[in-house]
């Protein structure tokens, strides 16, 4: 990183000694390239709409561009949401570098909600990009990249170079009268688990920035190229794995507490797939970049086949699993993972409609987690991990099981909840993840933006509008809580923070996507025809 004059920081993950001029001179003042491309509707970004009318040097209370571009009157919640989002902005030496997890003045217990979380900032970043404000996103990408270059230790164990922080905060040194950034790579997190998803979200956000602005100079810098390679080197290294999916610990993603998602969780696999495809579009084929591209291409072929075949569940596949033989040997085995039919939970037989399907939560040796997880399935649609038929089947399921998966507040993070003896064994009697609460079947408004993106991608915006209507009936009145509890999502979560930033940003992104669907290009990928594995037609589309 010496080409930018950036120095590696010490084990405390501090950036106090970095020169602010490094950013301004080397990257922030570089001219942006205006790229003219012919793109499909699915791949268009909103840059064509906003690049020429995007004002610079705006007041933080200016009217959002997305509202100005539409002739109809925006919902009153939009202005309130923008004000709340701007109040959460974090500045480091005069530059915006992210947004706080929450700005809840109703409690004195801050915990770690006063930090900038990588995954939490993604909807905030998308809202700013869709509104023509890209500088905060650029600063965020650069600062987290610098933190990646620091030494990371948990007790006496050193983490891999490519690990991205879960979060960071601005700390003031009153003696030196300077500010510095302090990052958390999992050493202070619950369970001390490193965030596997942070690096994937960073790559996805880098592509979103590039698509939105048309600025290729950032992703093509040696620093960003190196950053992507370091992240992917953690995932593409050869080892003992016999599957192309990533083996993960509990608590390594949005579900950051023990919830029985260890193994090969759908959320991580979907983000991994999307990050691989985003990186493939940004990596330069020179030097070690060529080798990395070759590894990505091979992994994508294997991962696509594996996920579309072994993680997919519809009526026909469920019936097949129900009739599986066990203890099969040789390459002719049908039950490749030796899943026991008696392990199929009773609820899934009634839950599965004739038309519809979804990617199950986890697949491993003698293990299949039949729970439905919102984020993994939505990202599977956005990234085209799901085939067009599978994407439509996921939306069919969502419509058919609206009361269970959406209820009175979008969107269930998973379904169903764990309770009774199963809850005690799987969660370790976690008092925060009681039934239909928090990560155990709680309803999370932030998932609205991913649901909306999936709806637009599949040509079903009416589903998203229905969900937005539910959000607008309560979210502002309830002071933008983090999550809701109850089987229908009727009650504000028992430990939910108010003015949760990603609840606010998720609403804004959903509204702007519906107002201008061309925004979908920055967070959506078209199906790669070369990645199509040979699979049988989904039973979700029977001949009627």
Mean pLDDT per block of 10 residues along the chain (544 residues) reads 38 44 46 42 40 38 46 80 98 97 84 94 98 98 94 85 95 87 88 92 98 97 97 93 95 95 97 98 94 96 97 97 92 92 97 97 96 98 98 98 98 98 97 97 98 98 98 97 98 97 98 97 88 51 44
Q: What is the pLDDT of residue 56?
A: 37
Tokens of 181: 């950034």
For residue 331, with 0-12 CB atoms within 10 Å meaning exposed, 13-18 middle and 19 or more buried, which class applies? exposed
Q: What is the pLDDT of residue 12?
A: 44
Nearest-angstrom CA–CA distance, 138 and 468: 29
Nearest-angstrom CA–CA distance, 173 and 180: 8
Nearest-angstrom CA–CA distance, 523 and 211: 9
Tokens of 149: 């270059």
Please report the sign of the dihedral spanned by the C-alpha atoms of residue 105, residue 111, residue 117, residue 119: negative
- The contacts of residue 69 (CB under 8 Å, 6+ apart) are 49, 50, 515, 516
Q: What is the pLDDT of residue 174?
A: 84
Nearest-angstrom CA–CA distance, 159 and 152: 5
Q: What is the pLDDT of residue 329?
A: 86
CA angle, residues 101, 272, 344, in degrees to nearest 5: 95
Please provide residue 350's backbone torsions phi and psi, each rounded to the nearest 5 degrees: -80, -30
pTM of the prediction? Answer: 0.86
Angle between helices 388-400 and 374-382 (to 10 degrees): 140
CB atoms within 10 A of CB 315: 19
């Amino acid at each position: 990183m010496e080409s930018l004059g950036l120095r590696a920081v010490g084990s405390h993950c501090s950036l106090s000694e970095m020169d602010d001029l490094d950013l301004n001179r080397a990257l922030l003042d570089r001219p942006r390239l205006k790229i003219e491309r012919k793109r499909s509707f699915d791949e268009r970004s909103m840059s064509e709409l906003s690049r020429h009318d995007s004002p610079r040097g705006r007041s933080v209370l200016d009217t959002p561009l997305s509202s100005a571009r539409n002739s109809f009157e925006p919902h009153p919640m939009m202005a309130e949401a923008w004000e709340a989002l701007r109040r959460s902005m974090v500045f480091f030496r005069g530059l915006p570098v992210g947004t706080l997890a929450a700005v809840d003045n109703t409690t004195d217990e801050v915990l770690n909600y006063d930090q900038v979380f990588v995954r939490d900032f993604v909807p905030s970043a998308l809202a700013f990009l869709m509104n023509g404000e890209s500088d905060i996103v650029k600063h965020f990408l650069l600062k987290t990249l610098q933190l990646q270059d620091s030494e990371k230790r948990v007790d006496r164990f050193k983490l891999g170079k490519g690990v991205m922080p879960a979060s960071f905060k601005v700390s003031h040194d009153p003696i030196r009268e300077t500010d510095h950034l302090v990052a958390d790579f999992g050493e202070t997190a619950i369970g001390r688990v490193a965030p596997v998803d942070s690096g994937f979200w960073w790559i996805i956000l880098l592509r979103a920035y590039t698509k939105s602005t048309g600025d290729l100079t950032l992703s093509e810098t040696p620093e960003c190229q190196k950053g992507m390679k370091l992240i992917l080197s953690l995932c593409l290294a050869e080892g003992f794995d016999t599957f192309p999916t990533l083996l993960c610990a509990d608590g390594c993603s949005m579900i950051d507490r023990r919830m029985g998602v260890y193994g090969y969780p759908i959320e991580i696999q979907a983000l991994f797939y999307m990050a691989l495809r985003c990186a493939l579009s940004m990596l330069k084929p020179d030097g070690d970049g060529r080798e990395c591209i070759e590894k990505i291409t091979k992994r994508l072929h294997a991962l696509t086949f594996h996920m579309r075949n072994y993680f997919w569940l519809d009526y026909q596949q469920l019936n097949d699993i129900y009739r599986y033989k066990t203890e099969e040997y040789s390459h002719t085995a049908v039950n490749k993972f030796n899943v026991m039919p008696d392990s199929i939970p009773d609820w899934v037989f009634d839950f599965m409609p004739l038309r519809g399907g979804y990617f199950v939560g986890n697949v491993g040796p003698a293990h299949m987690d039949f729970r439905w997880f919102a984020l993994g399935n939505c990202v599977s649609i956005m990234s085209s991990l799901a085939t067009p038929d599978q994407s439509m089947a996921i939306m069919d399921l969502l419509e058919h099981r609206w009361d269970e998966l959406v209820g009175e507040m979008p969107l269930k993070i998973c379904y169903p909840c764990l309770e009774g003896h199963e809850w005690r064994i799987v969660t370790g009697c976690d008092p925060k993840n009681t039934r239909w609460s928090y990560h155990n079947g709680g309803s999370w408004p932030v998932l609205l933006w991913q649901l909306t993106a999936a709806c637009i991608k599949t040509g079903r915006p009416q589903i998203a509008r229905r969900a937005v209507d539910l959000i607008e009936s309560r979210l502002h009145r309830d002071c933008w809580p983090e999550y809701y509890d109850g089987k229908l999502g009727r009650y504000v979560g028992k430990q939910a923070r108010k003015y949760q930033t990603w609840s606010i940003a998720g609403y804004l992104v959903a509204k702007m996507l519906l107002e201008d669907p061309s925004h979908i290009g920055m967070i959506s990928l078209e199906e790669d025809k070369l990645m199509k594995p040979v699979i049988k037609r989904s039973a979700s589309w029977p001949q009627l």
